[in-house]
């Protein structure tokens, strides 16, 4: 978000997304202040992004529980996802994010198109309907 010039084109709510990611990094660093990879990431961002350094200095902390992510995909356009977070009781410190899409929405159609581009050609074919299944059994 802070080192990639293309990032603003991906996040429709870029200012909010930047603040959120810094606050989430602050939470992660408080939970495990000796995490080597996190220390390296924070060092890189602090030395290479003045904006990150400024936001980091604000000491905001955020725990995402639920919300909306507004993104833009270069191939299918604007996307709107709902999300919920769940802490994993079997592995403290890990959180699972579940993204949802409103059925029948433009985002649902866009996700379907994206899936069809990634699926192997044999998977993209329609599943046989009830008539074909009945014929196959006889």
pTM higher than 0.85: no
Place of tokens 């909010």: 16
The answer to whether 66 and 87 are in contact (CB under 8 A) is no
What are the tens digits of pLDDT across the range 32-82? 889 999 999 999 999 999 999 999 998 877 666 788 889 999 999 999 999
Cα separation, 46 vs 50, whole angstroms = 7
Give me the pLDDT at residue 63, please: 65
* Mean pLDDT, all residues of the chain: 84
Cα separation, 85 vs 97, whole angstroms = 4
Q: Which of 13-17, 75-79, 93-97, 117-121 has the highest mean pLDDT?
A: 75-79
Instruction: Taking each helix axis as running N to C, give the angle between helix 36-48 and helix 50-57, from 0 to 180 degrees, rounded to the nearest 10.
Output: 120
pLDDT category at 28 given cuts 50, 70, 90 is confident
User: Under DSSP, is residue 3 helix (H, G, I), strand (E, B) or coil?
Assistant: coil
The answer to whether 1 and 7 are in contact (CB under 8 A) is yes
Paired residues of 82 in beta bridges? 68, 100
Rounded mean pLDDT of 84-104? Answer: 87
Rounded mean pLDDT of 11-25? Answer: 88
The answer to whether 88 and 96 are in contact (CB under 8 A) is yes
Cα separation, 63 vs 5, whole angstroms = 27
Q: What percent of the chain has pLDDT over 70?
A: 85
Least confident interval from 39-43, 56-60, 98-102, 133-137: 133-137
């Amino acid at each position: 978000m802070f080192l990639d010039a293309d990032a603003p084109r991906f996040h429709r709510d870029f200012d909010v997304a930047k603040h959120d990611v810094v606050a989430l990094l602050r939470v992660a660093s408080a939970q495990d202040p000796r995490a080597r990879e996190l220390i390296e990431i924070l060092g890189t961002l602090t030395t290479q992004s003045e904006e990150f350094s400024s936001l980091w200095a604000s000491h905001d902390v955020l725990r995402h529980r639920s919300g909306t992510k507004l993104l833009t995909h270069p191939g299918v356009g604007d996307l709107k996802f709902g999300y919920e977070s769940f802490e994993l009781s079997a592995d403290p410190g890990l959180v699972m994010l579940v993204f949802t899409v409103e059925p029948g929405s433009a985002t649902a159609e866009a996700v379907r198109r994206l899936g069809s581009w990634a699926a192997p050609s044999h998977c993209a074919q329609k599943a046989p309907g009830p008539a074909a299944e009945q014929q196959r059994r006889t």
